[in-house]
Amino acid sequence: MSRSPVWHPFTQHGLEPDMLPIARSGGAWLETIDGRRILDGISSWWVITHGHRHPKIVRAIQEQADKLDQLIFAGFTHEPAEAVARGLVEIAPSGLTHVFFSDSGSTSVEVALKMALGYWKNTGKARTRILALEHAYHGDTIGTMSAGARGVFNAAYEPLLFDVGRIPFPEKSAEQQTFDALEQACGAGDVAGFICEPLILGAGGMLIYDAATLAEMHRICARYDVLFIADEVMTGFGRTGTLFASEQANVSPDIVCVAKGITGGSIPLAATLCTDAIFDAHLSKDRSRTFYHSSSYTANPIACAAAAANLEIWRSEPVVARIGALAKTQAACLRGIAKDPRFENARQIGTITAFEFSGAGTGYLADVALSLRRKLLDRNVLLRPLGATIYVMPPYCATADDLNGVYAAISEAADEVRP
């Protein structure tokens, strides 16, 4: 067989020459071309919420493809986009009244950063600095890498990255250091916005902090008129137990980024929500105050139809109860991990659990990640540890049996790869 021309994401082809071909999916499961079933323990990179191929989302995509496939979104609009925008404003934290569409989590964050800079430019104040948390991940474009933590992933691109103010991650019992650093940075008077992943830093290692800390960081930003940008790309749509993680802290950010789960994970779409103040700062008869951003596929009608169907599922199905049940099952499984001396730092927020190998370093390149991933796949479980951090983030339809299978596989595989 000739070598595939495909270059895969976050993949060292020298270590991983072979990709597993998948032909079908349904619920919490993937199926290979030869009929082997694999449990999707990471929701296909955190995007699948209800389950693969939710029938209402599949139908919405089919019906929309039959009516209007793509439309220039400047000068024109369409009902699926209007429905999604109305629906998002309805469910989002209060005060978020405008919706700008794009097509990935990274672009939703780029849009957020541009909105923040545009807001200050248009209000005539010299504020251009961005603050972000240590260990943050906000995407893989130049701008979002700049906001994210620096490391092996972006070392080669460092010369292109802009400087951001780095705020220490709020470690348990050391939150005051975070508050002090944030207060000091905000006090300089040049800060346009502070961006954070609410309650849990995903790619940074599933680092959890509490709602009171999120609320305090928001209060500090508000005190200094620093725009508070919540990157809910991963946390949005139920992952942390509530629709948005910001809700748990009763926080109304100035800007919220959503992507991954917005279409139930079926098809790419993203949105950046903002306040009247930010929209109004761009509202003018003067063209130079326009928000200059677009992607060709902004608000693609088929993607919007999928998102509208997702919002309808949230309205009409017991999604919150399902998430609660999944969180309970996850907690029961995690109790086994917490008692197991091979693991440490067992933690959970909502539907997500995470833990490390005892005594292992936490660097992404910790050798165990790849071998562990292979041992799990041998047992028909898809997980993708972040270095020594193992995490389980299944679709909400995953059953207790599914999860028992996942944790049994982890236990067996761990013995084979333990550092």
Ligand X SMILES: *Cc1c(COP(=O)(O)O)cnc(C)c1O
Binding positions for substrate: 45, 137, 260, 294, 384
List all residues 6 or more positions away from 225 whose beta carbon is below 8 Å from its beta carbon.
Answer: none
Burial of 136 (0-12, 13-18, 19+ CB in 10 A): buried
C-beta separation of 8 from 19 below 8 A: yes
211 binds ligand X (CB under 6 A): no
Q: Minimum distance between the CB of residue 92 and ligand X, rounded to whole angstroms?
A: 17
Please count the residues of the chain: 419
Given the rule CB under 6 A, which of 135-143, 329-337, 376-384, 392-400 is the region that contacts ligand X? Answer: 135-143
Q: Minimum distance between the CB of residue 359 and ligand X, rounded to whole angstroms?
A: 28
User: CA-CA distance, 275 to 254, in Å (whole number)?
Assistant: 6
- Tell me whether residue 118 or residue 198 sits nearer to ligand X (CB atom): 198
- Tell me whether residue 202 or residue 350 sits nearer to ligand X (CB atom): 202
- Tell me whether residue 137 or residue 194 sits nearer to ligand X (CB atom): 137
Q: Minimum distance between the CB of residue 138 and ligand X, rounded to whole angstroms?
A: 5
Residues tagged in the binding site annotation for pyridoxal 5'-phosphate: 105-106, 231, 295-296
List all residues 6 or more positions away from 198 whose beta carbon is below 8 Å from its beta carbon.
Answer: 214, 230, 231, 232, 235, 240, 244, 245, 246, 248, 249, 251
Q: Which of 104, 298, 310, 351 binds ligand X (CB under 6 A)?
A: 104
259 binds ligand X (CB under 6 A): yes
137 binds ligand X (CB under 6 A): yes
Dihedrals phi, psi of 378, to nearest 5 degrees: -55, -30
Residues tagged in the binding site annotation: 45, 105-106, 137, 231, 260, 294-296, 384
Q: Minimum distance between the CB of residue 109 and ligand X, rounded to whole angstroms?
A: 6
C-beta separation of 117 from 192 below 8 A: yes
267 binds ligand X (CB under 6 A): no
Task: Give, as ranges, the residues between 158 and 197 that touch ligand X (CB under 6 A).
Answer: 197
Q: Minimum distance between the CB of residue 250 and ligand X, rounded to whole angstroms?
A: 21
CA 271 to chain centre: 12
Q: What residue has token string 């700062």? A: 281
- Tell me whether residue 132 or residue 414 sits nearer to ligand X (CB atom): 132
239 binds ligand X (CB under 6 A): no
- Tell me whether residue 386 or residue 414 sits nearer to ligand X (CB atom): 386
Q: Which of 81, 85, 109, 278 binds ligand X (CB under 6 A)?
A: 109
- Tell me whether residue 137 or residue 237 sits nearer to ligand X (CB atom): 137
User: CA-CA distance, 327 to 138, in Å (whole number)?
Assistant: 25
DSSP 219-272: HHHHHTT-EEEEE-TTTTTTTTSSSSGGGGGT---SEEEE-GGGGTTSS--EEE
List all residues 6 or more positions away from 80 whose beta carbon is below 8 Å from its beta carbon.
Answer: 64, 301, 304, 305, 307, 308
Residue nearest to ligand X (CB): 105
Closest of 186, 271, 204, 266 to residue 233, by C-alpha: 271
Q: Minimum distance between the CB of residue 6 and ligand X, rounded to whole angstroms?
A: 18
Q: Minimum distance between the CB of residue 223 and ligand X, rounded to whole angstroms?
A: 25
User: CA-CA distance, 381 to 392, in Å (whole number)?
Assistant: 11
# chain residues binding ligand X, by CB under 6 A:
14
234 binds ligand X (CB under 6 A): yes
Provide the binding-site residues for ligand X, judged by CB under 6 A. 104-106, 109, 137-139, 197, 202-203, 231, 233-234, 259
